[in-house]
Amino acid sequence: MGLKRMIGRVAFALLVLGIVAWAVFPFAWAIVTSLKAGSALFTVEAWPSQPSLANYTAIFKEQPFGRNILNSLLAASSVVALSLGLAVLAAYALGRVRFRGRGLLLFVVLGVSMFPQVAVLSGLFELVRWLGLYNRIGSLVLSYLIFTLPFTVWVLTTFMRELPKELEEAAMVDGAGPFVIVTRVFLPLMGPALAATGLLAFIAAWNEFLFALTFTLTDDARTVPVAIALMSGASQYELPWGQIMAASVVVTVPLIGLVLLFQRRIVSGLTAGAVKG
Amino acid sequence: MAGVTLRGVRKSFGRIEVIHGVDLDVADGEFVAFVGPSGCGKSTLLRLIAGLEEPSGGDLSIGGQRVNDRPPAARGIAMVFQSYALYPHMTAYDNMAFGLTLSRTDKRTIAERVRAAARLLQIEDLLDRKPRDLSGGQRQRVAIGRAIVREPQVFLFDEPLSNLDAGLRVQMRLEIAKLKADLRATMIYVTHDQVEAMTLADRIVVLNAGRVEQAGTPLELYHRPRNRFVAGFIGSPAMNFLDVVSEGRADGSVRVWLPGGVPLDVAVGGAAPPAGAPLTLGVRPEHVGLADGGAGLVATILAVERLGGETHCHAALEDGQRLLVRLDGDRPVAAGERLRLNLRGETAHLFGPDGRRL
Amino acid sequence: MSDPQTPSLMHQRRRAAWLFLLPMLTVLAGVAGWPLFRTVFFSFTDATLATLDGFQGVGLDNYLWLLRDPVWWRAVWNTLLFTVVSVGIETTLGLGIALILNAHLPGRGLLRAAVLIPWAIPTVVSAQMWGWMFHDLYGVVNAILMGLGLIAEPRAWTADPDLALPVVIAVDVWKSTPFMALLILAALQMLPRDLYEAARVDGVHPVKVFFRITLPLIRPALMVAVLFRTLDALRVFDLMYVLTGNSRSTMSMSVYARQYLIDFQDVGYGSAAATLLVLVLAVATVLAVTLGRVRVDAGR
Ligand SMILES: Nc1ncnc2c1ncn2[C@@H]1O[C@H](COP(=O)(O)OP(=O)(O)O)[C@@H](O)[C@H]1O
Ligand SMILES: [Mg+2]
């Protein structure tokens, strides 16, 4: 191996390492910080001299963080279930039936997913209040549909399109109507697609901030991102950084785990349809 | 059981018409094959019968009932697809039972029918497997089983064997022949493989560009093709066509001059063409003989293909027209040699300028 | 031809299609269409959060006030600057990372996994993490830069009006580059391999291959990815709100609109700002689709 190639390889390896470090460091630093209790927080050191889990116990004792997690879980899973249910039927119509206005509908669906969320804030606020959902999880399920529903419809439509036509025709010859085709022939084949789409929608809902910030008022009703953003300590002016980092680690570790586990699926889900130029 | 009748059936996709008014009668219990070049509309015609496409015009009846407006499941048909189209998440059993389950047939009847079909197709041991655990041939059997279980009046096959390798294809062909004898149902079978069509079908329908060129028994098509297209399409290797000039009529036959000044009298049915009219002479490679003496058509061998059982000689006549000659397998011939060929009027065909057989 | 009592198969399918679409469309109309309509409607009134059902029309007043408010123009400027700079950097870096990921080299799996981490982390969490790293007194960034001798004294990264927006951009780049990289990677992986082999056999320089072959081929996909990111960046809210609160030096249009809508309870005025944001997004989309010839389509 020539010297030039060698240097090239080393430089490349360093580059990759650099990118990895850049991607991972902030999270690693959050973990380190979360293990620092008391005044250790205010010294910059790579590993706390006396690692402590005090911050972790504090977020569940001093803050209603357990409740916040539950809220997020409830809101995200209900909105995902609802979106997938509505989207599977819609995706069949958009992906496999030719009818006038289909292109326009797809465009509208995509357009809605690109909406700035503040643009619907006042109207939604009115709706939420009118439905009596203010400061309740229901308001979040309702508002999150704005982005989870178009996304799931769009992605499932592209998946639906790829299913072989002859399969559907065989089912038609067997006497299956559209509903039976969707539920008993296509749905069982879309497991991976549903998982990927559902996971992405779940992450989006789990991470949502603006609606959660606006439609909830009390600490108990907050979701995880709002809780983390607004976490306050004993005094109003001193932010409890150790607890904030502990909370960040708690909600991020499962997310990262899921994402790494479903890497390939996620990449295919992200790119389905959206970027087939 | 029931026959199928098509009257002036047309089909357009958008502004393009791909089926131009097809009339066809398939008798009860008949096995009819649709053949034709790729894209000629075989599948479309079959799918029209199945109800998977809607005709743009004309009438379609099955068993004497007009079925234009009936969905596929209510037409008494079953279809076997080229790609098998088995439900991947169901076992072979469930694949076969699906249609009956949907029509709420009771479990015992379903089990009986599925087992009977499986026995017929010798796939009883495979019923618990999913399609991905089956070989191509086994999948095709399950697909056929799914059709049998429906107990249809008419079976529709769309190139069912074309995804199989050559050996398996021959085997499945024999099984379909057996099935045809066992079930005695009406069957319509699309294929681009004329051997399949010739061996299986009671009647062959030759399609070209959305029109029926000819419908008849395999031997009818072979011996009395209605036009040049059918003559060229049926038979393998394909028929030779030579440009010839007519001399006029003599006793129900036409005398034409072959290159090199050799005369040939060909029997014709209809009115004779005027003398001097340009015609096309069709001769099958297997009907070109070697002349004994010094007489006959002189040809130079361009290439020799030895298939073992037979030998194909590509030859050029004196005026450069090409001719394929089928000889015995062991005939000692070589490229560059000259042959003297013997054509017989009884096995030759004459086609007019419009391609129609005289 | 087809008889009216028994609708044809096509009709049945179409009817089923609309039936299947109905629930989805109803929900979308309810949660997106109607609220958007109300927002536009409110923007012509003096409604407040407390008086959502008792208000008066004020014509274009809200818009006229808005156009005369320097803070609004600052928010517009911040948003545009943020969008152009961060999307520009993210596209460039994303392209680089995607090329590395696409090359069959060791360390690829590790890199892909690492790059997914910023993407998986909620925006709020990443804002807090970086906020802590950029902390003026105890932040690791100050410590490292001072240790390296690059700065003499600690900086107030998020409070300094000159530094705050760059910091926000840096965090967005960290968070969103992976998304870009993955989308571009998907486009790269759809390119035919033999194209590259042919170029290699011909001895074309890799840089030339990139600009002459790769880039033109992935351009359509790249444009779609850039459009998506741009629309996303134009409506940015979380990052600024968490990192720097309602500070003017970083305030985006979304932050501005929400501040009036909720904090100041001035629904009429805030709705006008939100409506203008929608217009900006619509203009950006139209520009992208016409000038950049971006084609968005579900598959096919
Ligand atoms: N769904 C369709 N839309 C448009 N054109 C079609 C469609 N299906 C078939 N065609 C056209 O109709 C013609 C006949 O097709 P087909 O029946 O599949 O031919 P074959 O089965 O004989 O190869 C072809 O030219 C094909 O391109
Ligand atoms: Mg076909």
Domain assignment of residue B260, given as a range: 240-351
Instruction: Give the per-residue pLDDT at C27.
Output: 95
What Å distances lie between residue C261 and A125, A126, A168, C252, C273, CA to CA?
A: 10, 12, 50, 14, 9
Quote the tokens at residue A77.
């899973």
Measured in angstroms, the CA of C296 and the nearest CA of chain B are apart by 25
**A192 vs B301: which has the higher pLDDT:** B301
Instruction: Give the per-residue pLDDT at C225.
Output: 84
Quote the tokens at residue C220.
């359509």
CB A88 within 8 Å of CB A156: yes
CATH code for the domain in which residue B292 is found: 2.40.50.140
Same-domain status, B173 and B301:
no
Quote the tokens at residue B233.
């399409």
Among A49-53, A89-93, A133-137, B259-263, the range with the most confident prediction by mean pLDDT is: A89-93
What Å distances lie between residue B46 and A201, B163, C95, CA to CA?
A: 43, 18, 50
Quote the tokens at residue A119.
């643009």
Longest dimension (CA), chain B: 78
Q: List the subunits that have 3+ CB pairs under 8 angstroms with A.
A: B, C
- How many inter-chain contacts (A to B, CB under 8 Å) are there? 55
Same-domain status, B56 and B168:
yes
Instruction: Give the nearest ligand 1 atom to B45 CA.
Output: 17
**A266 vs A96: which has the higher pLDDT:** A96
Same-domain status, B173 and B246:
no
Instruction: Give the per-residue pLDDT at C293.
Output: 66
Q: Is the pLDDT of residue B228 over 70?
A: yes
Give mean pLDDT, residues B65-89: 91
Give mean pLDDT, residues C256-284: 90
Q: Is the pLDDT of residue A277 over 50?
A: no
Same-domain status, B244 and B299:
yes
pLDDT per residue as tens digits for the range A31-54: 888 888 776 666 767 677 777 777
DSSP secondary structure, C37-61, as one string: HHHHHHTTB---STTTTS--B-TTH
Q: Where in chain A is the domain with CATH 1.10.3720.10?
A: 63-273
Residue at B233 is within a domain = no
pLDDT per residue as tens digits for the range B171-207: 889 989 998 888 889 999 999 888 899 999 999 999 9
Q: How far is the CA of B206 from the centre of ligand 2 (A)?
A: 14
Q: ∠ CA A12-A15-A16 to the nearest 5 degrees?
A: 90
Query: Could you tell me the pLDDT band of residue C71, with boundaries at 50, 70 and 90?
Result: very high
Q: Which is the CATH superfamily of the domain at C54-290?
A: MetI-like (1.10.3720.10)
Q: Is the pLDDT of residue A3 over 60?
A: yes
Buried b (16+ CB within 10 A) or exposed e, C39-50: bbbbbbbbbbbe
Instruction: Tell me the torsion sign for CA atoms B68, B70, B72, B76.
Output: negative
Query: Could you tell me the pLDDT band of residue A269, with boundaries at 50, 70 and 90?
Result: low
Burial of A180 (0-12, 13-18, 19+ CB in 10 A): middle
Q: Is the pLDDT of residue C4 over 50?
A: no
Ligand 1 site residues, Cβ closer than 6 angstroms:
B 13, 18, 36, 38-44
Same-domain status, B218 and B244:
no
Q: Is the pLDDT of residue C3 over 70?
A: no
Instruction: Give the per-residue pLDDT at C22.
Output: 95
Give mean pLDDT, residues C183-201: 79
Q: Is the pLDDT of residue B92 over 50?
A: yes
Same-domain status, B216 and B252:
no
Of C138, C185, C242, the CB nearest to A41: C138
Look over chain B and give the mean of its residue pLDDT values, rounded to a whole number.
Answer: 90
Query: Could you tell me the pLDDT band of residue C53, with boundaries at 50, 70 and 90?
Result: confident
Q: Is the pLDDT of residue A125 over 70?
A: yes
By C-alpha distance, the chain A residue nearest B97 is A174
Look over chain C and give the mean of its residue pLDDT values, rounded to a whole number.
Answer: 84
- Beta-carbon contacts of residue C222 (< 8 Å; ≥ 6 apart): A277, C91, C95, C184, C187, C215
Residue B175, φ and ψ in degrees, nearest 5: -70, -35
Quote the tokens at residue B325.
């000659």
DSSP classification of residue B256: E
Which of B54, B59, B70 to mutate: most C Cβ within 10 Å? B54
Which of C2, C8, C14, C15 to mutate: most B Cβ within 10 Å? C8
3-state secondary structure at position A168:
helix
Residue ending a domain, among B173, B198, B225, is B225
Residue ending a domain, among B225, B251, B273, is B225
**A275 vs C113: which has the higher pLDDT:** C113
Partner A, chain C 71-90, Cβ-Cβ below 8 Å: none
pLDDT per residue as tens digits for the range C5-40: 445 677 888 889 999 999 999 999 999 999 999 999
Over B85-115, what HEC string results?
A: CCCCCCCHHHHHHHHHHHCCCCHHHHHHHHH
Q: Is the pLDDT of residue A232 over 90?
A: no
Instruction: Give the per-residue pLDDT at A263.
Output: 76
- Percentage of chain A beyond pLDDT 90 is 34
Q: Is the pLDDT of residue A274 over 80?
A: no
Give mean pLDDT, residues B129-152: 93
Instruction: Give the per-residue pLDDT at C208.
Output: 82
Residue ending a domain, among B159, B194, B225, is B225
Q: How far is the CA of B190 from the centre of ligand 2 (A)?
A: 8
Instruction: Give the per-residue pLDDT at B37.
Output: 92
CATH 1.10.3720.10 given to domain A63-273: yes
Instruction: Give the per-residue pLDDT at A259.
Output: 81
CB A48 within 8 Å of CB A35: yes
Q: Is the pLDDT of residue C59 over 70?
A: yes
Q: What does pTM read for this prediction?
A: 0.86
Find the ligand nearest to B160 CA: 2
- For A30-44, B308-322, C58-72, which range has the lowest pLDDT when averaged over its residues? A30-44
By C-alpha distance, the chain B residue nearest C2 is B69
- Beta-carbon contacts of residue C225 (< 8 Å; ≥ 6 apart): A275, C91, C94, C180, C183, C184, C187
Nearest to B29 by CA among B187, B148, B189: B187
Burial of B106 (0-12, 13-18, 19+ CB in 10 A): exposed
Q: How many domains does chain B have?
A: 2
Find the ligand nearest to B45 CA: 1
Give the separation between CA C178 and CA A36, rounded to whole angstroms.
Answer: 30
Give the separation between CA A150 and CA C231, rounded to whole angstroms.
Answer: 15
Instruction: Give the per-residue pLDDT at A40.
Output: 67
Among A8-12, A13-17, B3-7, the range with the most confident prediction by mean pLDDT is: B3-7
Instruction: Give the per-residue pLDDT at C1.
Output: 41
ipTM above 0.90, yes or no: no
Instruction: Give the nearest ligand 1 atom to B13 CA.
Output: 4
What's the distance, Cα to Cα, between the start and end of chain C in Å? 34
Q: Is the pLDDT of residue B214 over 90?
A: yes
DSSP classification of residue B275: T
Quote the tokens at residue B247.
């001399």
CB B208 within 8 Å of CB B226: no
- Percentage of chain B beyond pLDDT 90 is 61
pLDDT per residue as tens digits for the range B292-314: 766 778 899 999 999 888 999 99
Query: What is the residue extent of each domain of chain C?
Result: 54-290
